[in-house]
Amino acid sequence: MAKPIIAIVGRPNVGKSTLFNKLIGERRSIVEDTPGVTRDRIYGETEWCGKQLIIIDTGGIEPKTDDIILKQMRFQAEIAIESADVIVFMCDVRTGLTADDRDIAIMLKKSGKPIIPCINKCDSVGAPPFEFYEFYELGFECEPIAVSSVHGSGTGDLLDEVLKNIPDGMGETEEDDSIKVAVIGKPNAGKSSIINKIIGQNRLIVSNIAGTTRDAVDTHISTENGNFTFIDTAGIRRASKINDKIEKYSVLRAHMAVERADVCLIMIDAQTGITEQDEKIAGIAHEAGKASIIVVNKWDAIEKDTNTVNAFNERIRTALAYMPYAPIVYVSALTGQRINTIFEHILYVYNQSNTRISTGMLNEVLAEATMKVQPPSDKGRRLKIYYMTQVSVAPPTFVFFCNNVELFHFSYQRYLENCLRQTFGFKGTPIRIVVRMRGEDSK
């Protein structure tokens, strides 16, 4: 089942972002080019009583304003409300119940979604302040819950109430053995067309108008090679070009699609070639540690000679120098050229990403590598690597135990990564290397 989405909404400066950070358990940097409007990442995940929840932070709502920025913030919040399964309506006990709170409450009631009034800044121990009780006037079915987003008090009661209001079965661990494949790329790169060609039917809306796909759409496919779930996503544009607030949430969904994917297909438009934006999109998958395949679409529209593929490969490898492990496939969603090979690549990079190597074999490779190239030294001190072990897969993650972390230079880490790839493959997947002093926990 899908993870339920919880939107935190309310007036500006009532503590929504502080509560958001408290619920997801980390202080997540939120980048804004205009305060409250454009945010690179405004979602996070948390778990409560065995349920997985997606939390969305929103800009403050000013119900009655002619200010363009505040109107944009309100519209952004309205999209979050529309996407949410449960809405946490946040108010400030110190300012009391305001006219704007009442107007927002009316707007929220029209949504038909479960609304949980969350009264923030109830920081004192014991019973909430007298002003808390006036929020009962809002007349929601759920009673107001007193919280302190700074101290975290009351957040457990809030999440308990959230669980009472999510649909049955949502948020539970998925019993799904399919390989999740996120199709990401710039607008109009052919993401929906590729999936339509793969499944042999026009399941998704296809248009040459950029931005047709507003949300992440799942398509389940069973083949002789196994079960797959393709996640079509809205095209990701430069942040400076995202003016439509609906599209901002499309980008949010695309990030979320990458997070829950096993494999990412990074779509490149052959006609425009590799661009700076393609580099950034590919970086989303790389930083998330996802197995990836670079899919160059519209290859049928390119005039070719004997050097065309090699030249294209070189440009892509130069631009995406940080992910040399990703295979490149040249296809045409229009003609179906080499579409069938995509399944083979998906299975291969998925298996590579989930490969686990025994500690014994790893240390044999380590011994040979350090014998060929001595570990670095500095001022008479030489790096000693005692042993290594693999601690996880997807992506394969290795911990090296040594005598001095500072001596373990990045260049030597890269050398050891290359040795691992030469011996074990790991084609299509990033590798994570963690360095520990001997005696530290490997987890």
Q: Given this model, what pLDDT does residue 439 score?
A: 63
Q: d(Cα 105, Cα 236) in Å, to the nearest integer? A: 33
Helix (H, G, I), strand (E, B) or coil at 416: helix
H/E stretch holding 317 reads helix 308-319
120-170 pLDDT, tens per residue? 999 887 788 889 999 999 999 999 999 998 888 999 999 999 999 987 766
pTM (two decimals): 0.63
Cβ-based neighbour number of residue 438 at 10 Å: 11
H/E stretch holding 52 reads strand 51-57
Helix (H, G, I), strand (E, B) or coil at 137: helix
Helix (H, G, I), strand (E, B) or coil at 400: strand
Q: d(Cα 346, Cα 418) in Å, to the nearest integer? A: 22
Helix (H, G, I), strand (E, B) or coil at 169: coil
Q: d(Cα 388, Cα 216) in Å, to the nearest integer? A: 39
Query: The tokens 């990074």 sit on which residue?
Result: 266
339-382 pLDDT, tens per residue? 889 999 999 999 999 999 999 999 999 999 999 999 998 888 89
**AA identity, residue 402:** C
Is the confidence at residue 322, as pLDDT, over 90? Answer: yes
> Phi and psi at residue 56, in whole multiples of 5°?
-115, 130
Of the given ranges (30-39, 101-110, 432-441), which has the lowest mean pLDDT?
30-39
53-67 pLDDT, tens per residue? 888 887 767 666 666
Q: How far is CA 348 from the centre of its chain?
A: 23
**Helix, strand, coil share (%) of the chain residues, nearest 5:** 35, 20, 45
Average pLDDT score, the chain? 83
226-273 pLDDT, tens per residue? 888 888 776 555 555 545 544 455 556 667 788 889 999 999 999 999
